[in-house]
């Protein structure tokens, strides 16, 4: 069973991990081969970073006894705000990084996937923290 305090700590840790990953200087990020670039792996990475973010925060709000509407509102508003924040940080402050609307949209897709997974699959795929 999920422990609310551990889940909160893990949600904050994942939020920090996202920030650390997006702060890595551009010249230190491994380049992919040209054929793989057609699949836009950076967009996929954004989705895979933000889906767990949304899932963890939605689960935490659920354990904190928030209503379904509040869980949706809080998770979406936090996720979208954080997506925009990380892209602004990349655009203005991080060396060799470029924030973009396409990346923010990929983040939002990840948020929606994470929330969908929370809503439809959390009982089946719950991890114990």
Write out the residue range of the structural domain in which residue 99 sits: 4-18+41-125
Q: What is the DSSP letter of 64?
A: T
Q: Is 128 left (phi over 0), alpha (psi -120 to 50) or beta?
A: beta
Number of domains in the chain: 1
pLDDT digits 0-9 by tens, 44-84: 889 999 999 999 999 999 999 999 999 999 999 999 999 99
Give this prediction's pTM: 0.82
Closest-CA residue to 51 (of 107, 90, 121) = 107
pLDDT at 123 (0 to 100):
54
Dist CA 2 CA 6 (whole Å): 8
Dist CA 35 CA 69 (whole Å): 43
pLDDT digits 0-9 by tens, 10-38: 999 999 999 998 888 755 555 555 544 44
């Amino acid at each position: 069973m999920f422990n609310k305090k551990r889940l909160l700590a893990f949600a904050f840790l994942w939020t920090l991990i996202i920030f650390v990953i997006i702060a890595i200087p551009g010249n230190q990020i491994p380049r992919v081969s040209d054929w793989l670039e057609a699949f836009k792996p950076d967009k996929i990475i954004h989705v895979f970073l933000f889906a767990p973010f949304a899932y963890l925060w939605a689960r935490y709000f659920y354990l904190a006894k928030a209503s379904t509407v509040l869980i949706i509102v809080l998770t979406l508003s936090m996720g979208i705000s954080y997506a925009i924040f990380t892209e602004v940080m990349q655009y203005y402050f991080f060396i060799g990084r470029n924030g973009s609307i396409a990346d923010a949209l990929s983040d939002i897709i990840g948020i929606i996937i994470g929330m969908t997974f929370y809503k439809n699959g959390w009982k089946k795929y719950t991890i114990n923290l």
